[in-house]
Homo-oligomer: A and B are copies of this chain.
Amino acid sequence: MSYPYLSLIANYLLLLTTTLFCFFFCWIQANINSTSLLINFHTYKLKKIMDIHLAIANILSPPVLFFFLGMVAVWVKSDLEIPKALSKFFSLYLLLDIGFHGGYELHHNGFSWNIVGILGTCFLMASIVPLYAFFILKRKFDTANAAAIAATFGSISAVTFITGIAFLESAKISYGGYMVAGMALMESPAIIIGVILFQVFKSKEATATLNGNNKGVYQRPKWGKILNDAFFNGSVLLLVGALIIGIITGDAGWKAFKPFDAIFKGILTFYLLDNGIVAASRLKSLKGSAGFLIGFSILLPVFNATIAIFVSNHLLFLGEGDALLFTILAASASYIAVPAAMRLAIPESNPAFTIPVSLGIVFPFNVIVGIPLYFYLIHLI
């Protein structure tokens, strides 16, 4: 009943990274004044650094701080909790709102071949990430777990994306409504690729299962169900539905919905508070290959982000807002849909790997460090 050792280390590492990161930016911030005279002539660079300022202001945004508060609540063993029904509603609200808003923007700016290119790249990205992640993970894990974790990284986290949007809005940087469609497209491919990878590579392994008595009678879920769950799961359906309704109803629709959209940041604040609580609890269940997992879960998102930044800059020529959102999508990992889908399709996989990684490490890393970091990188290029 001893408190899991490695989770302590994980918590500690997270805090350390965050603190270092904060110090790093504080240092920049502090130097702005002292060096501003020096680099005054170099106005362009200065403006960039000023924007970094913005980034710091955003780490200190209420939603992110309440995420911290949620983690603290678990660490001090408080009984603070958000009722499950509300937490589900908040996520529905965020999806509906973001979908509706994206649709409204698309209604205004129209559809172009350029957008098709972006959406195609989104889809590709979501298909390639699980592939290379799988082969890295195979070195440490059996096929089942490697496939499941790879799929988790291939898919996306809508709330990380939405936190990115809140970041952009505070910084008054615009983004395209089609990025919401891009997110919808990136949710499901990883599930299918994960299952295929497992099917292909497990036959190369000995068929002996963990329990050694797999009588072969056991029926796996059929592809029909997998595909149906992947493409019609509640989140995808609500997001796409709201997007389409936003396109159809245009200005009139958005005007009526506007006051409800106004409470967006408040709802996000509550949702992140809740996510902080759950993330901190889930960090506790990290066991086994935790050392490798923690390192992997911080390096892979950064690696994916680097590729995404490169692609958005050199292939897609995206604006800063779109580039950040695309990068966040690539760097985030699914903690709701994919782990559940993997559990059903690959029951040999262990959720004690996927969830602590995606919700306990990748999510906090992206929300706290990732978003401003990726923005900084995009901005510098």
Contact = CB atoms under 8 A, between A and B. Distances in A.
Interface of A: 57, 60-62, 65-66, 69, 72-73, 76-86, 88-89, 92-93, 96, 100, 170, 228-229, 232-234, 237-238, 241-242, 245, 248-249, 252-253, 256-257, 259-263, 265-267, 269-270, 273
Contact of A86 (B60, B89, B256): B89
Most buried by B among A61, A62, A100: A62
**Number of identical protomers:** 3
A265 B269 contact: no
A169 to B, nearest CB: 9
Contact of A69 (B79, B237, B273): B237
Contact of A62 (B72, B84, B249): B249
A248 B263 CA distance: 21
Given A77-B232, A256-B170, A263-B263, A245 B65 contact: yes
A18 to B, nearest CB: 15
A84 B85 contact: yes
Contacts of A60: 248-249, 253
A368 to B, nearest CB: 14
A80 B238 contact: yes
Most buried by B among A57, A260, A267: A260
A191 to B, nearest CB: 14
B62 A234 contact: no
17 contacts: A60-B253, A61-B249, A61-B253, A69-B238, A69-B242, A78-B232, A78-B233, A80-B233, A80-B238, A81-B234, A83-B84, A86-B88, A86-B89, A96-B269, A256-B265, A257-B269, A260-B265
A252 B76 contact: no
9 smallest beta-carbon distances between A and B, as pairs: A260-B266, A83-B85, A80-B234, A259-B262, A69-B241, A85-B85, A78-B232, A65-B245, A76-B232
B73 A234 contact: yes
A52 to B, nearest CB: 16
Most buried by B among A80, A100, A229, A273: A80
Contacts of A248: 60, 65
